[in-house]
Amino acid sequence: EAGVTQFPSHSVIEKGQTVTLRCDPISGHDNLYWYRRVMGKEIKFLLHFVKESKQDESGMPNNRFLAERTGGTYSTLKVQPAELEDSGVYFCASSQGKRRLLYNEQFFGPGTRLTVL
């Protein structure tokens, strides 16, 4: 079974440009999460989709970030315009549909490293 995949592996852009990251979750997983790790800091939760709906986007830094999951399959995270502080590794994770009391195991993708110059 294929795991969570992310594209691209690494993106280098200039400040002010736009970048779109893509995540393909494990097939059949309704839950999709985006996280970000900036250098020297912990991995931070950005948002959570249940199918195509945003369940929780409390971690999104500001309105330069737009996440979509049309059709409830893959998701994109667009940063427009990118700023220097957006550099970091963006992880995607997915989990099965029904929310369990204790925890739904999240399977992580390899991450996209974003560098904003």
Partner 1 sequence: EDKVVQSPLSLVVHEGDTVTLNCSYEVTNFRSLLWYKQEKKAPTFLFMLTSSGIEKKSGRLSSILDKKELFSILNITATQTGDSAVYLCAVPDSGGGADGLTFGKGTHLIIQP
Binding site for partner 1 (CB under 8 A): 3-4, 31, 33, 35, 41-45, 47-48, 55-56, 58-59, 91, 95, 99, 101-111
In angstroms, the CA 39 to CA 116 distance is: 13
Q: Which is nearer to partner 1, 79 or 92 (by Cβ)? A: 92
Question: Where would I find the beta strands (DSSP E) of the chain?
Answer: 5-7, 10-13, 19-24, 31-37, 43-50, 53-56, 65-68, 75-79, 88-95, 107-108, 112-116
Q: Which is nearer to partner 1, 59 or 61 (by Cβ)? A: 59
Q: Which residues pair with 68 in a beta bridge?
A: 76
Q: Give least dist CB 50 to partner 1, A.
A: 9
Residues 6+ apart with CB under 8 A from 41: none
Q: Which is nearer to partner 1, 17 or 96 (by Cβ)? A: 96
Q: Give least dist CB 11 to partner 1, A.
A: 15
Q: Give least dist CB 14 to partner 1, A.
A: 26
